[in-house]
Chain A
Amino acid sequence: MATTTATLTLSSADLLSDNLSLSASMNLYKGGTTDTGLEQMNYHRLVLPTGTVFDLIAESDALKDNSNYVYIINKNTDVTDYVLIDINDNEIGRLYAGDWLFMPWSCDLSASATDSSIEAEAVGHETIIEYALFHVGETLPTAGD
């Protein structure tokens, strides 16, 4: 098993009447285990053209029914550029230039479920995205040609 930690720090000296400082740290464990770390990770950097909703992280049999954690960052610098992050056309929110997200993700392949892929659409200009998926592991299912 691997040990991967995700640490968040939120801070501000002037948002409130006193300093804001919040820190949270977690280990990325497999679902249903006490302390068994996720063993695999995908890390990508790509360009999102505007005008099309893309499957950024597609659902797959290897990812179902366990713990997955997703990190996405918008690497553009123009503050007006943003990326819509959706699941099956349900917009979660907008990542403006420099913004990032980190969240668990349920890959649901049950018969009653609609597509659970994480989708992204660039608005304004094409956008450079980096994203990571931490997951329980995948084994290539099909032989090559």
Chain B
Amino acid sequence: MERAIRDEAADVHALEPEAFLEEVHSFEFWFHSVQGYLAGQTFGHRPDVHGAPLAPSEREHLVTVLCNYCVGETAALEGASGLVAIAPNRLTKIFLATQVADEGRHLEVLLHRLGELGVAAPEAEIERRASRSLLHFKRRLLELVQSRDWEAAIFAQNVILEAMEFTVFQSHARTADLVTREVLQGIVKDERRHIGFGENELGRRLQASPHIRARIGEVKKELDHWVLESFEETLREIGVPNEERPELGRNYLEVVARLGFA
């Protein structure tokens, strides 16, 4: 009898909605989640995994791509840490604190990978190779955070930026060298939480306050161009064929359609 009760309690789908939200936004949940796929890793990959040497042109493309991933992750790190202060309640503050930890880890493992590829001064290299459109997006995201516009900033960061990263990293992991693949696969697992948080938080806000829809629509209109340009640049660098690119863009289009911005 006691076993049956315990099993029933462990059925995730039997949780009340409030209990579910409390659980998945917690640091406790985050800690036991990341432990599952990061334990035993060193800088995002198993220590005994080594990539085959890259041809000079492959290395050149990879360094450019990783530099731009660092720009995106820095934007998310600065954005998420700024959002903690304006988050409307305890659950969102705690979740964003876990996201800050994730983004800091992403930046660190990507910088470390650049070091493994022989980049002596990663910060300078990032400045030299950063995409103009991604830098513009980062600047606008941080302006939205500074203006304390919770919904617009969550849309820019956890819907637009994270959806793009989720798609690009998954695609890149399929063709990357072994070390880069493991680093990206670990990041993608974190990104699931970030995209889900963004879509669900914004979805709830739009339901409760439909008048914010027009403002978010304006933000989308402004930022779409910069994000899609940066998306295209990255897909070109990682060698995704032209015919596969619309399929990859579909993920973002599906998210905005679910939120009513088709």
Do the two chains bind? no
Residues of A at the B interface (CB closer than 8 Å) are none
Residues of B at the A interface (CB closer than 8 Å) are none
